[in-house]
């Protein structure tokens, strides 16, 4: 946790000093912080790829993917029939209030309303979506 606090502090403070910090360094810090947050907030239900068991659908490739399309995963009707694409904005709304964004899915409520935390998790999800 101390490590995470340090990383978050570095990432947050570099927002204001971004011009002096190489963008690639900043991006790497965001992805690493996002990975830690993903492991504490999402990993107990979501594998980042197909190599491990996953209670929810695996999330590699999720940014830009049509919702409800991981082959072999038994989605709820609500998610399978939603017709939405997981854009960064949709993922933010989902992280913030998944029940409000799309009622009737099988995912238990998560309420990540801190935009910085959303940013980090999005950076990580994007890094496993290329
Ligand atoms: C308690 C378990 C649990 C946690 C924690 C959880 N999820 Fe989920 N998630 C699910 C389940 C189950 C589904 C499938 C829902 C359905 O089919 O209705 C799902 C679906 C999703 C989907 C839709 C994927 C697709 O293929 O359409 C996304 C995106 C997602 N979760 C992101 C996240 C993120 C990001 C976090 C962490 C901030 C998170 N989830 C935390 C259980 C969880």
Ligand 1 center from residue 39 Cα (angstroms): 13
Of 1.10.520.20, 1.10.390.10, 3.30.420.40, 1.10.760.10, which CATH number belongs to 2-15+22-127? 1.10.760.10
Q: How close is the Cα of 43 to the center of ligand 1, in Å? A: 10
Query: Residue 16 above 60 pLDDT?
Result: no
Query: What pLDDT, on a 0 to 100 scale, did the predictor assign at position 50?
Result: 81
pLDDT digit string, tens, across residues 44-99:
999 988 887 889 999 999 999 999 999 999 999 999 999 999 999 999 999 999 99
Q: What is the CA radius of gyration of the chain?
A: 15
Ligand 1 closest atom vs CA 80: 17
Residue 85 has phi, psi (to 5 degrees) of -115, 140
How would residue 11 be classed by pLDDT, with cut points 50, 70 and 90?
A: low
pTM: 0.86
Distance in Å, CA 17 to ligand 1 centroid? 34
**Domain ranges (residues) in the chain:** 2-15+22-127
């Amino acid at each position: 946790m101390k490590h995470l606090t340090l990383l978050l502090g570095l990432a947050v403070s570099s927002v204001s000093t971004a011009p002096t910090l190489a963008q690639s360094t900043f991006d790497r810090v965001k992805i690493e912080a996002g990975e830690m947050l993903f492991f504490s907030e999402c990993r107990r239900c979501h594998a980042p790829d197909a190599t491990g068991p996953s209670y929810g659908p695996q999330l590699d490739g999720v940014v830009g993917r049509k919702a409800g399309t991981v082959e072999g995963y038994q989605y709820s009707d609500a998610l399978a029939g939603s017709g939405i694409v997981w854009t960064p904005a949709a993922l933010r709304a989902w992280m913030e209030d998944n029940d409000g964004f799309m009622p009737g899915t099988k995912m238990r409520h998560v309420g990540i309303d801190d935009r910085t935390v959303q940013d980090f998790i999005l950076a990580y999800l994007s890094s496993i979506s290329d």
